[in-house]
Amino acid sequence: MLTEKELKEYSDNARASYLPHISIDCVVFGFHEGMLKVLLLHMKNENGWYLPGGFVLKDEPIELSANRILKERTGLDEIFLQQFHVFGDPQRSKDHFEMYKDMLPRAENWFTDRFLTIGYYALVDFCDAIPQPDIFSADCIWRDLDDLPELKLDHALILKTALDTLRLQLNYQPIGYNLMPKEFTMPELQKLYETILDKKLDRRNFQRRMLGFGILKRSEKPRKGGAHKAPYLYSFDLENYQAALTEGFKGGW
């Protein structure tokens, strides 16, 4: 938690620089060693976990705000970002109100305002991201999707809504370019889809459908090493991948 002096300084700067009553919360997904990861912030002097977020500068487009916030938290630029929902329950900031209400007069306290938050989800390369905490947090770390701590405010709802949206996206848009390494095997790609969907997929059907979408390129040589027949390596055909993101494809899992 910030000291009273730090809180007043931040609150004064926030009122001068940012749009009132609007925030952005980001669900950052990464994929590593067969596990879907989520980036979380652990607050200073508080046993509380939150999604990365921030505010919108007065002269800044919302999309640029989301990109700026994600770059500050991951060090990455030009990453896949998708706006998915606006959260506006009047009580969603109740925890912050209770925590900070006595530290500053009501008229000077940015944290006791009501905020609507715009939800974005991001797909990033786990190995390229360099998690960085903000001024409120002691740490910024990856957590496994199936081993999450209790989240404050309505951030559990935001995370669930982002995951539901991501699963829905798999029905009409490709997923993987931002989550997989440059080259990967078909079983590794299938593992990503199974992890996101939380269900098993038929191997032959998955391969047939993925190749039918025309978004993959197969390497001339299989992966080296291993006692069994080496699997072929694939990479994404970026031109076709981008077209599929724009135009979509039919089907579902």
CA pair distance 70, 220, nearest whole angstrom: 36
Q: CB count, 10 Å around CB of 199? A: 10
Tell me whether the CATH fold assigned to 4-159 matches the one assigned to 184-247. Answer: no
Give the model confidence (pLDDT) of 176-220 as tens digits: 998 998 999 999 999 999 999 999 999 999 999 999 999 999 987
The pLDDT value recorded for residue 226 is 54
Q: Which H or E element spans position 222?
A: strand 216-222
The pLDDT value recorded for residue 171 is 85
The CATH architecture annotation of domain 184-247 reads Orthogonal Bundle (1.10)
Pick the closest to residue 221 from 206, 242, 235, 203 (CA basis).
Answer: 235
CA pair distance 3, 7, nearest whole angstrom: 6
Q: Is 101 left (phi over 0), alpha (psi -120 to 50) or beta?
A: alpha
CA-atom Rg of the chain in angstroms: 21
All residue ranges of the chain with pLDDT < 50 are none
The token duo for 35 is: 């596990």
Q: Which residues contact 46 (CB under 8 A, 6 or more apart)?
A: 1, 99
Domain range summary for the chain, segments of one domain joined by + = 4-159, 184-247
The pLDDT value recorded for residue 100 is 61
The pLDDT value recorded for residue 114 is 84
The pLDDT value recorded for residue 237 is 95
CA pair distance 131, 40, nearest whole angstrom: 9
The pLDDT value recorded for residue 163 is 96
DSSP 151: B
Q: Which fold is adopted by the domain 4-159?
A: Nucleoside Triphosphate Pyrophosphohydrolase (3.90.79)
Cite the beta strand spans of 44-133 per DSSP E. 49-50, 53-57, 80-87, 116-123
